[in-house]
Every structure is written in C-alpha cells, then in structure tokens.
Amino acid sequence: MSLEQDIQQKTFRSDYQKALLNILFTSNYLITIVNDFFKPYHITRQQYNVMRIVKGQLPKAASIQLIRDRMLDKMSDASRIVERLRLKNMVKREISPDDKRIVHISITEEGLKLLESIEIHVEEMEKSIKNLSLEEAAQLNDLLDKIRG
C-alpha cells in the first residue's frame, strides 16, 4: 500500500516531505511489529537491546554509560531498563569496589538463555522487510545511513 493510501493524503509539499513522513510512518509500523514480537518473551525491544549490548561485552561487564551510548532508542532511560531486567533476573548489577559511582552490568545465565530462545525466532521479525530483495535492503541501508550523514 502507498503512503497516500495509508494516511489518506493525496499530495505532499515536496518529495522530501513525503519521504520524511514515509520514514516516520514506516518506523511506527515496524516498531509495532517488533513490540508484538517481544510480547511472548515478556520483555520490551529496549530491554532486548540492552541485553544484547551487555552480552556483547562478555567476558567484561558494561557500564550504564556504555549501554546508553549503544542503545538504538536514545530516548530510553538505560538505568530504569537495567533495573527492570535485574528484577527479572536477566542482568546483575555490581557496584565497583574502586569507585562507588560506577556500576558494572553483566548478563545472567537466565538472560543468556532468553536471548538464545529469541535468536531462534528472530527471522520472524525480519519477515516484515523480506519483501525487499537483498540488493534493495542494501540500498535502503545506504540511503538511511546517508540521511544520518
């Protein structure tokens, strides 16, 4: 379906305006798909992102600042997300013995198991863009990188 049909707007001020609205509309569409994908696992997409970041630091721990810097959703509160994951026993927090202001975050065995079970099904989430060829996906990646420039 075209953007014109989806938002019931026939004309746009320019192709730039249409492109911007199309990116925003598509972003919301994909976020809905991703959120629905994570519901059965009882985590949010932001929590998944944090768990992946922390896992990527193994065998070292991650800091809240490192997590913040690498998160996809820059508006998320990394400390709050880490605390929710800690309550679910997906990550653990340890205060640095050298500097009490620094907290080390590491993933638990339970967190690793959850990530493993999600990875088996992650292709389901990718189905939302499988109507693109690999060449089109690469081109889209290049264009999106160019926008962020």
User: pLDDT tens, 115-125?
Assistant: 999 998 988 88
Rounded to 5°, the CA angle 110-79-75 comes to: 115
Same domain? 35 vs 63: no
Confidence label for 35 from pLDDT (cuts 50, 70 and 90): very high
In a domain, 93, yes or no: yes
Same domain? 52 vs 115: yes
In a domain, 91, yes or no: yes
pLDDT value for 25 = 92
Residues of the domain holding 32: 1-41
In a domain, 72, yes or no: yes
Report CA torsion sign: 120, 125, 126, 132.
positive
User: pLDDT tens, 84-109?
Assistant: 999 999 999 998 788 878 889 999 99
CATH of the domain at 112: 1.10.10.10
Same domain? 110 vs 56: yes
